[in-house]
Structure 1
């Protein structure tokens, strides 16, 4: 240790001797830069005083300063911002899974508010708001030119109150209004069900409840199926999931990986980077996994999809994800406010940053838009008749009662799958993949 310290001191002295001739200009440049910063701060103080003394109406000094701080942060990128004491408290409530509002995750693009995704079961979802919609006005007031926080503030209000947002949607010629009644948003982080022999885990957000919900839901569905051997595989549905807590994304990824890197983060200083690795244990016990994503899948959703895709643990199906590859750190400030600052980019295990690029699916599957109902159609087309429908047709006497019963069960299951294909084509496609992999058996490994 002593030798190392001596070598360091020696190196410092050598550097000092070698740079003596240019030290003067460097010190002068630094002094000039500092002087410029102080001049700008003086300019800020002059403007603040002029506004306070000469603006047409009285202004709150606190509001002016908070607006200046927020402007400084929002000029960096769409995800950095200042949180007042009220906003910081609301954010803490939201990460716990219950908050008031419309139920949409938004970002800013070219001055307009863009919907990243509506959250399942929320007023915005029920009103038909879609990922990719642009919000141009709130209650008739244009949001063009407002900061994202200011636009969000316009959309806040008491639970039970009505709000009218004006949307611009791709494929629609004219903007249109949507009426939404604000409500308390209670998010169920993970919904679970079984479709055929596939367990579907619908992850709507990444909050403190996400991993416990997923773990419990997966276990419940496997037990109801009579064991893991009776399951073809798992569908992890991350569509329209706007993200959330980084640690929850790591837990969910780790749930299906035995080893290896999950995600790494890299900031401006290389020493501040972090790397997160999976621990042994796979809740799916090696069964095939299909991950569903779309343009509303962002941030933590992309971490999970990218980790499982890079490790070839899952097949990613759907459309390209949103492309938010940055990490925000919430820094508490005096007065109970907070600063949300972008401090790093995250990278998938293969070393790719998805910032502004998104996760590309292994298989691109578009979700068809619902077909318009024809008001002039008087009746649906009649179903085709089969041999069994003919009067006097012979019975099939080669089957036992149990075999006939099994055929009826399989037929009902096929009809359910057909209805699912109409309701949710992407999910039906994912389940078909799991059926095919399960049919291959050992060849799929």
Structure 2
């Protein structure tokens, strides 16, 4: 039986199809490979373009910085203002100060000065300052210091230092101007905002070595066997001074305590932790810091001398900052004390000093972490909200500060007269109520 010339025998057809299908699979695989490759290349190109448009494209912005630097260096009208060091240091200072009031670029002179201050004695005025709404503000003058003797009060705004406006001055820049050799003078201009008046004062103060007693207390118990202790700041002797005051009051029969942290600007972290530890069991979390990448450092209560679980109230106001916020937040979170007064200042950040590599002699002070209470409440920029809110006016706050620190004069305030400390009286009333309720319940248990 003959075959058409265009027809194939079964054997030939079978082998031809076997050769054809592998070839088809090969070209399909190659085509898919090219498609995937093109897709990947397209994704990479798109990703590169997206990165180039992002804010984190360092090369793009380094190029921008270089161009601006070139134009300033070569075209600015006053040649003496555009030395390389001045331009770079100014740029770095602007970069750090734009982050927050506490981050700072330290040129070699500033870095050397900071090292001298931390290793030895330096002269100062005895005031703690901060930025409130961008304005240089006194948090508290330390008692028995030049600032205290000159009548500077919490809330005073420092508008000039040695004739230089503080309007665009950094916090560290202001501190640098206020500090100096003991027995040297510095002039400042303050703006005092009252409820109905505003007053500008120009003062000349003489710097001195600052050493203050941080703990003061009423030697006699208040009705209801309530003790009163005020801590003005946290320094190295604070813990022992506080323990001595507690021992004296306990020996006299103290059954409840008011701890006054109003106008306390803070101080040493270790001191604040040790004060908190006296009212907490060993190993309890007092405060922790958290930085980038979830890095944490935890501070717990020590095994030192402990106080009985008597009722306790802590007084705070808008000038209670840093260490005082750590104590207040810890004892509030652990339900060991009731907070009375006003929301605190909100200063709870950690600064690290990082030397810059090379022979520049410079460094940066950088905010690297924030403080958190045991219940993970952030302190910085927020503050601690009291359990019992009792707001008072600015004028009343100043008068109460004077009554607590130096009641024999009014620091030159017009028509100054003593006023009732409504926050303190509320604390006394609350503690007496708790004691009365506790005593009544104990009598019921004894009767049954």
Report the TM-score when normalising by structure 2.
Answer: 0.70
Aligned to 1:399: none
CA distance in 1, matches of 2:58, 2:398: 58
Aligned to 1:39: 63
2:102–2:172: 8 Å Cα contact kept in structure 1? Answer: no
1:310–1:350: 8 Å Cα contact kept in structure 2? Answer: yes
Count of residue correspondences? 373
**1:25 corresponds to which of 35, 38, 46:** 46
Aligned to 1:331: 354
Question: What are the Cα deviations for residues 9-53 of structure 1, in whole angstroms up to 9, with x where unaligned?
Answer: xxxxxxxx9x946344334544672431330341354256338x8
Matched, 1:148 2:171: yes
Q: CA RMSD in A?
A: 3.7
Matched, 1:75 2:103: no
1:437–1:444: 8 Å Cα contact kept in structure 2? Answer: no
Aligned to 2:297: 274
Matched, 1:206 2:234: yes
**2:220 corresponds to which of 189, 196, 209:** 196
Q: Report the CA distance shift for 1:238/1:61 in structure 2 as closer, same or farther (over 3 A).
A: farther
Q: Report the CA distance shift for 1:156/1:423 in structure 2 as closer, same or farther (over 3 A).
A: farther
* 3-state DSSP of counterpart to 1:73: helix
Matched, 1:311 2:311: no
* 3-state DSSP of counterpart to 2:60: helix
Q: Superposition pairs for residues 45-444 of structure 1, below 5 Å? A: 45-46=69-70, 49-50=73-74, 55=78, 57=80, 61-85=84-108, 87-88=110-111, 91=114, 99-158=122-181, 159-171=183-195, 173-188=197-212, 190-197=214-221, 198-207=226-235, 209=236, 213-225=237-249, 227-228=250-251, 230-258=253-281, 259-270=283-294, 272-280=295-303, 283-333=306-356, 337-365=362-390, 366=392, 367=396, 370=399, 426-427=423-424, 429-431=426-428, 433-438=430-435, 440-441=437-438
CA distance in 2, matches of 1:428, 1:229: 21
Computing the radius of gyration from Cα coordinates, the structure with the larger value is: 2
Q: Report the CA distance shift for 1:353/1:368 in structure 2 as closer, same or farther (over 3 A).
A: closer
* 3-state DSSP of counterpart to 1:70: helix
2:163–2:187: 8 Å Cα contact kept in structure 1? Answer: no
1:78–1:148: 8 Å Cα contact kept in structure 2? Answer: yes
1:323–1:355: 8 Å Cα contact kept in structure 2? Answer: yes
2:214–2:232: 8 Å Cα contact kept in structure 1? Answer: yes
Aligned to 2:406: none
Q: Report the CA distance shift for 1:50/1:298 in structure 2 as closer, same or farther (over 3 A).
A: farther
CA distance in 1, matches of 2:145, 2:384: 26
CA distance in 1, matches of 2:92, 2:361: 15
CA distance in 2, matches of 1:252, 1:96: 25
CA distance in 1, matches of 2:420, 2:125: 24
Question: What are the Cα deviations for residues 111-163 of structure 1, in whole angstroms up to 9, with x where unaligned?
Answer: 53222332232222232323222222234443223333344444445534151
Question: What are the Cα deviations for residues 411-442 of structure 1, in whole angstroms up to 9, with x where unaligned?
Answer: xxxxxxxxxx8586644554554455445555
C-alpha displacement of 1:351: 2.3
2:274–2:302: 8 Å Cα contact kept in structure 1? Answer: no
CA distance in 2, matches of 1:192, 1:49: 58
* 3-state DSSP of counterpart to 1:269: helix
* Structure 1 residue runs without a partner (length 5+): 1-16, 372-420
Q: Report the CA distance shift for 1:444/1:216 in structure 2 as closer, same or farther (over 3 A).
A: farther
CA distance in 1, matches of 2:337, 2:219: 18
* Structure 2 residue runs without a partner (length 5+): 1-36, 401-417, 443-448
